[in-house]
Amino acid sequence: MEKNIAVIKGDGIGPEIVTEAMKVLDKVAEKFGHKFNYEQLLMGGCSIDANGVPLTDETIERCKAADAVLMGSIGGNTTTSPWYKLPANLRPEAGLLKLRKSLGLFANLRPCVLYKQLSEACPLKKEIAEKGFDMLIMRELTGGLYFGERKTEEVDGVMTAVDTLSYNENEIRRIAIKAFDVAMQRRKKVTSVDKANVLDSSRLWRKVVEEVAKDYPEVTLEHMLVDNSAMQLVKDPAQFDVMVTENMFGDILSDEASMITGSIGMLASASMNETSFGLYEPSGGSAPDIAGQNKANPIATILSAAMMLRYSFKMDKEADAVENAVNQALENGFRTGDIMSEGMTLVSCSGMGDKIAELI
């Protein structure tokens, strides 16, 4: 099978970690008889430097023409980089928001898995970490506060900022359907997170999710308020299977979940539209402090590539092979600096990529 992949390496550690994911994909292609064609594109700070804007229309069109997008990290140091002296609509992150909107990427999937080999890196109590957990947080990605109307103005002599949180029933229904579809492939439980005791948007969210649930009688649905969800993630993460929530809540909860896995460098991510098309990226940032030093952990990006194989290309065996190789590399004691512990073997970013590729 031949697939065309738009590659956005981005800024900071982005080029390093994406290179290792491509290395692993090339090994998959070799072993399973596929051909992956890569087209490298610019977005973020590197696009600002080259084109004056974080995302060009041409890049959007090239992404649309591909079968999937593989991305690294964008942005830089927010206090020292000249990119952050620009207006908000010209900063690196504006390019990512525009790309998500342009490609219709409304569903963000973040698997949060605590590997048994990394249980000591988990900051939770030993008895919690030893139970392990395997959850998937599905975040609505193109609505809510981040895309609502906003303004800052003087009202009665006082500067006042307004951000609008808005959802319609269609936006909620499509993310709920995605969540229940994924739950059917997992342990058949959905936890819908909202703030229905306060927000109208959450009350509509809960109503629509309950309507969708009627079409999935095999899936158990529970509702949980967002503040309780934050507590439960650190108290008993093993209780969760698929967690679905709106944009801002999902942004916060998925970052919380990433840290209890031991390192954000382990957290993959997929953003999908209503078809099988998706953008695949690690959940972590561009880490400019270690950029170019071959220290970054590429596992999240490699696992994101595995998600691309599974969800966009329908290559389940190939995705399994990548995930098993990651597990075996950890079992063999190989660690990058962020997950290093006593008795393990420290490897570089490229070294970890080599080890995982060898194990495919």
Active site residues: 146, 195, 227, 251, 255
Q: How far apart are CA 270 and CA 159, in angstroms?
A: 38
CA distance 19 to 237: 32
How far apart, in whole angstroms, are the C-alpha atoms of residue 145 and residue 174?
A: 18
276 C-beta neighbours (distance < 10 Å), count? 12
**One-letter amino acid of 19:** T
Radius of gyration of the chain measured on its C-alpha atoms: 20
Pairing of strands 220-225, 189-194: parallel
Q: At what angle do helices 57-65 and 92-102 cross, to 10 degrees?
A: 40
Phi, then psi, of 238 in degrees rounded to 5: -65, -15
Give me the helices (H) in 142-246, please.
169-184, 200-213, 226-235
DSSP H or E run through 303: helix 299-307
